[in-house]
Structures are given as C-alpha cells and as structure tokens.
Chain A
Amino acid sequence: KAGVTQTPRYLIKTRGQQVTLSCSPISGHRSVSWYQQTPGQGLQFLFEYFSETQRNKGNFPGRFSGRQFSNSRSEMNVSTLELGDSALYLCASSLNTGGLAGELFFGEGSRLTVL
C-alpha cells in the first residue's frame, strides 16, 4: 500500500512569488492535514480537510490556503512568499477525522526555501 506522497520534494522560490504543494493521501484516507515544520517552532498545524471541506485552520495568515479534491488529493498554496515561509511542509492523512483511530500518516514533506 503506497504511503502519503508529496510533490515536489524540494523547491526554491524568491520573495513575493507563490507556490503550490501537492499531497496524495493513502488510498481510502479521507482526512488530509498540513503542518509546517521549522527548527524554531517545531510542527505547527496549518489546516485539515475532510471530504473536500476544511474542518479546521491553524493560526497562519490568509496567504496560506488549501483545498481538497474529490479523490482526497490535496494542495496547499502560499502566496506572496516571505523569507519566514522557508520550512518543511508536511502532509498527513488519516482514515478518520478525529475519533479513535488517532494515527496520522505523514509524507516526507516538501522543503521550501525562500530567497
């Protein structure tokens, strides 16, 4: 069974540009979450989608957005990039949203560098 797949794995952008990251969850998983990982702040929740609906959003500015498609694949977009957006962006999928399962399966991340 394939794991969570994120593309691209690495990318370099300049300030002011925008970026779109893609995530394919494990087959059958309907919940997709996004996290930002930085050395200083650790893992911070961005948003979670379930059945194409955003269920929750973290404390990030509106420049960060996402969406989920009918096949559960998800994308996140960051507009007007800032130097501080340099981070590893992790996607995670889950069989359920909340509930007893509790296990998030993470992809290997997309490492974004903003110059």
Chain B
Amino acid sequence: QQQVKQSPQSLIVQKGGISIINCAYENTAFDYFPWYQQFPGKGPALLIAIRPDVSEKKEGRFTISFNKSAKQFSLHIMDSQPGDSATYFCAALNSGGSNYKLTFGKGTLLTVNP
C-alpha cells in the first residue's frame, strides 16, 4: 500500500518558471510533511516542512501548500533555476508515534533548462 503518492515522476521547466510537485496521502494520522531534495551522489536533504495547522509555508522561492480536507500537499518552486535540478521527495510522518518512520513518495526528477 503506497501511503504517499507523488506526481509527476519527472518535470522539465524553463529557467524562471514555476515548478509544481504534488503529493497525496492516505493516513490521517500523518501530521508532519517534509520535502527532501536530493542531488546525484548525495543523500536527501530537508528542504522545507509543514504541519497541518497551516495551509501554506514559504521559505524563499519554495512554498508548501497544504489541503487537509483533500489530504494533499504540494511544493511550488518559484523562479526555478538550473541549480534546482534534482530529485524531490515528499514525505509524511505521524509524529505522535513512538518511532521515527518517514513514508516517502517515489520522487520527482526536476530538470530546469537554462
């Protein structure tokens, strides 16, 4: 059972454009939703995260939008740059649990053309 569904699998945008990656989850116990960025040959690194008590969180060019009723959240990258080219993973966690198990989406390979 895939608990976090991520789309699209790959995305190509032009420099300066907006990149949008979507995720949907099933487990209503999830209450922490991070996004990770992974460059080739590196491990994933936390980019931005949100909790469901807010509908939007912005950090620089990166924004998470969260729709609790639809059980969906998305990552928007404004003014996309070639340096943003990477694989992006959404994830979800039940922080009230006694263990630390992030459930990841399958990733989106973003390519930003110069």
Query: Which A positions have Cβ atoms within 8 angstroms of B?
Result: 4, 31, 33, 35, 41-45, 48, 50, 55-56, 58, 90, 92, 94, 96-100, 102-109
Given known contacts A103-B34, A103-B46, A98 and B41 CB-to-CB distance under 8 angstroms: no
Residues of A within 8 A of B34 (CB): 102-103
- Which chain A residue lies CB-closest to B44? A106
The distance from the CB of B105 to the nearest CB of chain A, in whole angstroms, is 7
Listed A/B pairs (17) with beta-carbon separation below 8 Å: A35-B104, A42-B89, A42-B104, A43-B44, A48-B100, A50-B99, A97-B100, A98-B93, A98-B97, A98-B98, A102-B34, A103-B46, A104-B46, A106-B44, A108-B41, A108-B42, A108-B43
Pairwise interchain contact B46-A48, C-beta atoms closer than 8 A: no
State how many residues of chain B have any CB contact under 8 Å with chain A.
Answer: 26
Q: How far is the CA of A1 from the CA of B16 in the complex (A)?
A: 35
Q: How far is the CA of A91 from the CA of B33 in the complex (A)?
A: 20
Q: How far is the CA of A107 from the CA of B97 in the complex (A)?
A: 24
Q: How far is the CA of A78 from the CA of B98 in the complex (A)?
A: 26
Pairwise interchain contact B89-A98, C-beta atoms closer than 8 A: no
Given known contacts A100-B95, A107-B43, A43 and B89 CB-to-CB distance under 8 angstroms: yes
User: Nearest 6 A-B pairs (CB), nearest first?
Assistant: A106-B43, A56-B99, A42-B106, A43-B104, A55-B99, A97-B100
Q: Is B60 an interface residue (CB 8 A)?
A: no
Query: Which B positions have Cβ atoms within 8 angstroms of A?
Result: 32, 34, 36, 41-46, 49, 89, 93-107
Interface-central residue, B89, B95, B96, by most chain A CB under 10 Å? B95
Residues of B within 8 A of A99 (CB): 95
Pairwise interchain contact A102-B49, C-beta atoms closer than 8 A: yes
Q: How far is the CA of A55 from the CA of B103 in the complex (A)?
A: 15
Interface-central residue, B45, B94, B96, B101, by most chain A CB under 10 Å? B101
Residues of B within 8 A of A98 (CB): 93-100
Q: How far is the CA of A31 from the CA of B106 in the complex (A)?
A: 24
One of B42, B94, B97, B100 near A31 (C-beta < 8 A): B100
One of A55, A100, A108 near B98 (C-beta < 8 A): A55
Q: How far is the CA of A105 from the CA of B94 in the complex (A)?
A: 18
- Which chain A residue lies CB-closest to B34? A102
